[in-house]
Amino acid sequence: MKRKEKFESETGFEGWGDYMDAKIAKLEDQFRHSSASVGEKLSNLFAGVSIFVNGYTNPSADELKRIMMLHGGVFHHYKRPNTTYTIASILPDVKVRSITSEIIISPRWVVDSLQEGRLLDYSRYLLYTQHKPSQPKLAFAKVVPSTSRATDVSKPVPKSDSDPNDISRAECLNVLGMLKHFSDPVPEEPITAVENGKHDEEPKENNNVTNSSEHTMEVDCSPPISNPKEPSPLCSPDVFSEDEPSRPAKASAQPTVQTKTPTKSTSSKQSLTATDPNFLAEFFNNSRLHHIATLGASFKQYVAELREKPTSSFPARETLVQQLAGGRAVQEDSETLETHSGSNVRHIMHIDMDCFFVSVGLRKHPHLRGLPVAVTHSRGSEARVPSHPGQNRALEIELYQKRLGERYKAPDIPIESRLSAIDEHNSLSEIASCSYEARRCGVKNGMFVGAALNLCPDLKTIPYDFDGYREVAHQLYDTIAQYTLDIEAVSCDEMFVDLTELLQVTGVDVMEFVSYVRQQITTATGGCACSAGVGSNRLQARMATKKAKPNGQFRLVPGAVEEYMQPIPIADLPGVGPSTAYRLKQMTYVTCADLQSIPKNVLQTEFGKKFGETLYNACRGVDERPLVYDRGRKSVSVDVNYGIRFRTAQEVDRFMRQLTEEIHRRLVELRQRGKLVTVKLLVRSPGAPIETAKFMGHGLCDVVTKSQPLRQHTDDRTVIETAVLSLMRVMAIEPCELRGIGIQISKFQGVKQAVDNEAGNRLRSMFQKVEEKRKPTVEHNETSVPAKVETCRTLFKQPDDQQPCSSRSCIGLQQQAVPIQMRESYATPTKTAASWEVGVSPKQHTSPAATYSPVRKRSGVPKPATRGRRGRPPKLASVGGRKEQTARAGGGLRKFLMSNETKSNNSSVPDELPAGLDLDVLAALPEDIREEAIRDYRREQQLQLSANKLFQNRAETTPVKSSPQLSDSLREWKSPATPQATIPHADDQKIRVDVKFLQALPPELRVEVEKQIELNKDQMVVTCSEPEIDEPLLVSSPEKSPVKQQTPKKTEPVPAATETCKDPNILRRNNWRELIEEWIDSTEQPYEYDVGLLATNGEELCEDESLERLYIAIRCLHRLVRDRKQACGWHRAYESVVDPIQKRMLVIYGNKLAVPSKVACELCNRVD
């Protein structure tokens, strides 16, 4: 069914895995767009058919919904008894077991039927065969209520560990998640204390929902009596629309209610790693973080849509007034007076579900109420899990600790006690949410099951219920939305609500409303408790909620705020995470009172202008930020940092395409176009175990990001894909070292970036002062260069814990025994990293593009500042950088001109040195080392992409045409890593375009070229120069190409200075040197057009009087070309470049540049 029909265009897009053909995607787009405008129907194809989409699918639920709507079908937001088909990619096998009547089919059925124009037999699309005996095992017991091993660690475990020094870090740094749950700087208040204090300042709580017990609404049955459902404005056209008046929702009501365990695939075995075609779908279906992120985003959108509706009346308010304000229609008491008196004091409510996942889960596991419960993938309460081979938890933890210590300059950060689960049989599955009973033992959200069981051996686990979360969240939002739409969605279980208008209009008392609405929520959700806080700004509201939990409410009265804040631990402030808390703690600041005593400018000096001010305000309960009801999106991204295990570049490539497809889908769904593509990779840290402690996790990683600006905003999948693939090529990470991959698209059309308004945002000088104090080893004085070199050398040979070093390299350094090999293990086999690191001055990192290389200069550089400060880790700025030097040298133009017999190339011409080398450092080095350093540096400068820039440039001036001339150039101009030969093809009448070439093109240009080729496909054909494939490929199906992203390169490519690709004159770009180097390295023989282009660019510099740059560039060119012995084509090219430039020089200045007019080469002469 991959015949393309009805919709013209491309050919040969083959699907891979379960993924949709690109062609079909396009088709989808059309529907999407056409439907966007009106709800008109295109056909009745799906008349009588209703579908429910379960979990992640491709096409997405949203797309399927549109298709159904446009073609006469019905989309069910929740599964109903009369739902015709359930659509899923991955099937929870619990379902298979429990549902007999349900027909579960692949989303492809919809797409294919649409294509065929008729309803296809669904039997071929069944995700499972009902009667297959082998199928889904009923094996595991449902909830595993069971037998906890109460025996072993018997301790009830009193409160959490109280290692005040614990700190934690998120992300990849957080190897075992150990420090994720850093302890509070101040002992937590016993939860029990909260219970009756809940309504402290709100004695008049006449609310129905008392805070006293969580069991209050545990009546998990009996459908909501006064279900607030169906508020008028609630039917959104889009995501949530769907009538759906009745909500079964009762676990008891649906006997078969699947425990909806999003686990395990069905038809086939599980997808363990990203190489599995079904991995992405399966991963997303099981990823709680994916679900909450996605859900959160959709509720933000939901609110925005509700607000956009013209008709926003709130009939429910009348009932509210009747029930609450019955006695006092007119409010006169002082409380409400402040509301009425037009003072600008607002009533902000923050409301958040209590242990959300648990509350939802308990609806189906009512017997566990009142017990310590956690939601996790880990089945069974047994602590022991099989230990997979190769993991080394102790090592991972040790490395992690080391890194933390380096980052925070605190060698002795203790291991978090709670993390003690070093035992390789302790489960590292994360707890998404735990009940308050469990929290009493010290268990926290995000903690590992193993660690939690240590704290709370009786902990019961229940599985995820992602459908339930969506459902309950929906009920939460709908309930609130009955009363006001002044809602800022925070996440699926949480929002801010500005009650000011509501209270004003209804005259209802704040806290009465809060209890009323909380009760409604609890009822509507079938017994899920929530807590709410009220204050005059969002911060206060949040703090009040914290106080109110669980199942309570609290109001922070304006007058008492500052005082109220004082005993609050700083770490409890929103925006203060583990890193900030740790740093403050190191400064002896723990409570808000402590913080209140610090002058604002001190905080700003230490934490940055903005964040310093935020802290200053926050500890006083001050928060100026208004609620934002609809903040537009600024970026989209897709990340997978789990299950990433590749062996070959092809596998990587393939996965990247899947990710690209996914992000493209999301981008289109947003109806946005982006201008910046960023790829983020997690790379196994040197020394970290290959097998991570967490099964299929990412372990200790280094992060590499690189972005590619596009020339214009795009939502074109091929453009994105090309950018992504080229970024991958540039980063050139060994496939087997990858542990995580992410793609982000940003710089949306019409979205302006935030701009620093005030000057003086930079506090650099202050920081530098601080930092200088902190690192006595580092010299900032040029005169100390030799000493510096010595220091570096010593550092490398004999690592010293005292030595500052960058976190990235530290591990490498510590692995003293095998430092070089370790580091070379990436992509720099021959590199003598040592000499580099020895010889290079820190300040060298001129290239902002210098992104990642474990061996890179950045690595060996003594590390400057303490990490933990936000922002990029400061580089060491050695005084008198290259920039100044060249600037100085450029003082007099005359010096570049031909005197009479100049042209001595031999003198140590500083100008020939690559930018970024510290001349003084080099000068201080022995000759051989210097050579080596320069060579290494140059090698790093070899940029895969850069040569493309030459083309990009051309595209601006010369639209691509399918002329023979062009094709010649295409053939000639090889992508860097491409082997020489072009494979001959049967169809040799046609002009051949190597796929590799296409891939190397900048995205927009590539698309242009492809279009042209497509238009002229009679004369042109795309070929692939890879040995294993020699059949012609159709132009429009680059995806089909099995071409590797690149042959493993010897040299370590330096990330392109892709950021500077605007100037059409490449010589004016910052990365001109890289461009030229790459260009020269990329091929045996330059393309004439490029030569001419360069000459023209050079002439332009003449006219601009940019003689300094021109001079350096030509010397550089000469050197590079000269080094390409035998490559006489290049030698001649040099002449072709220099000659016209010199002519122009004579015309303009009456003199020539002091550069060689040709390359001395015997071979050239002979050939001549």
Ligand X SMILES: Nc1ccn([C@H]2C[C@H](O)[C@@H](COP(=O)(O)OP(=O)(O)OP(=O)(O)O)O2)c(=O)n1
Kindly report the number of other CB atoms within 10 A of residue 756's CB atom: 10
Binding mask 700-719 for DNA (x = CB under 7 A): ---xxxxx-x----------
Enumerate residues 467-496 that contact ligand X by CB under 6 A: 493-494
Please indicate if the annotation marks 940 as binding a ligand.
no
Alpha-helix runs per DSSP H in 183-263: 191-197
Residue 794: name its binding partner from DNA, Mg ion, ligand X, none (Cβ under 5 to 8 Å by kind).
none
Place of tokens 């999106």: 633
Q: Which of 214, 354, 498, 623 binds ligand X (CB under 6 A)?
A: 354
Q: Which of 138, 141, 170, 1160 binds DNA (CB under 7 A)?
A: 170
Enumerate residues 334-393 that contact Mg ion by CB under 5 A: 352-353, 356
Binding mask 271-300 for ligand X (x = CB under 6 A): -----------------x---x--------
Nearer to Mg ion, 292 or 855 (CB): 292
∠ CA 56-61-62, rounded to 5°: 135
Residue 770 lies near DNA (rule: CB under 7 A): no
**Tokens standing for residue 583:** 């740093």
Enumerate residues 455-494 that contact DNA by CB under 7 A: 490-494
CA atoms within 13 A of residue 699's CA, in its CB half-sphere: 28
**Tokens standing for residue 783:** 């005169």
**Tokens standing for residue 633:** 């999106």
Q: Which of 363, 474, 549, 698 binds DNA (CB under 7 A)?
A: 698
Q: What's the min distance (Å) between Cβ of 581 and ligand X? A: 16
Q: Which of 12, 370, 414, 874 binds DNA (CB under 7 A)?
A: 874
Q: What's the min distance (Å) between Cβ of 825 and ligand X? A: 34
- CA dist 181 and 20 (Å) reads 41
**Tokens standing for residue 607:** 């934490």
Place of tokens 């009087």: 1105
494 carries an active-site annotation:
yes
Are 58 and 246 in contact, with CB atoms under 8 Å apart?
no
Binding mask 555-574 for DNA (x = CB under 7 A): ------------------xx
**Tokens standing for residue 423:** 């035992």
Say which DSSP state 50 is in.
E
What is the spatial order of strands in the sheet that 431-434 belongs to?
431-434, 373-376, 460-462
Q: Which of 35, 160, 678, 962 binds DNA (CB under 7 A)?
A: 678
Residue 448 lies near ligand X (rule: CB under 6 A): no
- CA dist 702 and 129 (Å) reads 44
- CA dist 949 and 730 (Å) reads 13
Enumerate residues 491-510 that contact ligand X by CB under 6 A: 493-494
* 1078 contacts: CB under 8 Å, gap ≥ 6: 941, 942, 943, 944, 945, 946, 947, 976
Task: Kindly indicate which of the ranges 76-84, 349-357, 398-406, 1087-1095 contains the residues binding ligand X, using the contact rule CB under 6 A.
Answer: 349-357
Q: Which of 69, 103, 432, 511 binds ligand X (CB under 6 A)?
A: 432
Q: Which of 57, 263, 426, 445 binds ligand X (CB under 6 A)?
A: 445
- CA dist 749 and 740 (Å) reads 28
Residue 357: name its binding partner from ligand X, Mg ion, DNA, none (Cβ under 5 to 8 Å by kind).
ligand X
Are 672 and 691 in contact, with CB atoms under 8 Å apart?
no
Residue 786 lies near DNA (rule: CB under 7 A): no
- CA dist 814 and 837 (Å) reads 15
The b-or-e profile of 1149-1160 (16+ CB within 10 A means b, else e) is: beebbbbbeebe
Q: What's the min distance (Å) between Cβ of 879 and DNA? A: 11
Residue 733: name its binding partner from ligand X, DNA, Mg ion, none (Cβ under 5 to 8 Å by kind).
none
Residue 433 lies near ligand X (rule: CB under 6 A): yes
Residue 378 lies near ligand X (rule: CB under 6 A): no
Place of tokens 């001079």: 1111
Nearer to DNA, 609 or 935 (CB): 609
- CA dist 973 and 1118 (Å) reads 20
Residue 433: name its binding partner from Mg ion, ligand X, DNA, none (Cβ under 5 to 8 Å by kind).
ligand X
Alpha-carbon distances of 179 from 232, 236, 413, 444, 872, rounded to whole Å: 46, 42, 10, 12, 22
Residue in 282, 396, 406, 494 annotated catalytic: 494
Residue 594 lies near Mg ion (rule: CB under 5 A): no
Which residue from 89, 8, 16, 185 is spatially nearest to 656, judged by alpha carbons? 16
Kindly report the number of other CB atoms within 10 A of residue 109's CB atom: 21
Enumerate residues 405-444 that contact DNA by CB under 7 A: 407, 427-430
Task: Kindly indicate which of the ranges 298-306, 352-360, 844-852, 1054-1062 contains the residues binding ligand X, using the contact rule CB under 6 A.
Answer: 352-360
Q: What's the min distance (Å) between Cβ of 521 and Mg ion? A: 12
Q: Are strands 635-640 and 530-535 parallel, antiparallel or unpaired?
A: unpaired
Binding-site size, DNA (CB under 7 A): 133
* 208 contacts: CB under 8 Å, gap ≥ 6: 515, 516, 519
Q: What's the min distance (Å) between Cβ of 264 and ligand X? A: 20
61-70 vs 22-37: helix crossing angle, rounded to 10:
60
The b-or-e profile of 1107-1121 (16+ CB within 10 A means b, else e) is: bbbbbbbbbbbbbbb
Task: Kindly indicate which of the ranges 47-55, 625-633, 887-895, 976-984 contains the residues binding DNA, using the contact rule CB under 7 A.
Answer: 625-633
Please indicate if the annotation marks 563 as binding a ligand.
no
The b-or-e profile of 870-903 (16+ CB within 10 A means b, else e) is: eeebbbbebebbbeebbeeebeeeeebbbeeeee
**Tokens standing for residue 431:** 């707890």
- The per-type count for the chain, helices as H runs and strands as E runs, is 42, 18
Residue 803 lies near DNA (rule: CB under 7 A): no
Q: What's the min distance (Å) between Cβ of 359 and ligand X? A: 8
Residue 754 lies near DNA (rule: CB under 7 A): yes
Task: Kindly indicate which of the ranges 348-356, 637-645, 649-657, 1067-1075 contains the residues binding ligand X, using the contact rule CB under 6 A.
Answer: 348-356
Residue 179 lies near ligand X (rule: CB under 6 A): no
Binding mask 578-597 for DNA (x = CB under 7 A): xxxx----------------
Please indicate if the annotation marks 572 as binding a ligand.
no
Q: What's the min distance (Å) between Cβ of 215 and DNA? A: 24
Residue 356 lies near ligand X (rule: CB under 6 A): yes
Q: Which of 217, 362, 638, 917 binds DNA (CB under 7 A)?
A: 638
> 44 by DSSP, 3-state: which?
coil
Residue 819 lies near DNA (rule: CB under 7 A): no
Residue 532: name its binding partner from ligand X, Mg ion, DNA, none (Cβ under 5 to 8 Å by kind).
none
Nearer to ligand X, 354 or 918 (CB): 354
Q: What's the min distance (Å) between Cβ of 849 and DNA? A: 5
Enumerate residues 540-559 that contact ligand X by CB under 6 A: 549-550
- CA dist 67 and 56 (Å) reads 16
Residue 277 lies near DNA (rule: CB under 7 A): no
Per-position DSSP letters for 442-490, written without gaps between them: T--TT-BHHHHHHH-TT-EEE---HHHHHHHHHHHHHHHHTT---EEEE
Q: Which of 240, 299, 302, 357 binds ligand X (CB under 6 A)?
A: 357
**Tokens standing for residue 7:** 């919709």
Say which DSSP state 830 is in.
T
Residue 1075 lies near ligand X (rule: CB under 6 A): no
Q: Which of 80, 97, 340, 633 binds DNA (CB under 7 A)?
A: 633
Alpha-carbon distances of 678 from 492, 847, 944, rounded to whole Å: 27, 18, 17
Instruction: Summarize as ranges the residues that interact with Mg ion (CB under 5 A).
Output: 352-353, 356, 493-494
Residues marked as binding?
A: 352, 493-494
Residues labelled as active-site residues: 494
Residues marked as binding for Mg(2+)?
A: 352, 493-494
Instruction: Summarize as ranges the residues that interact with ligand X (CB under 6 A).
Output: 288, 292, 352-357, 432-433, 445-446, 493-494, 549-550
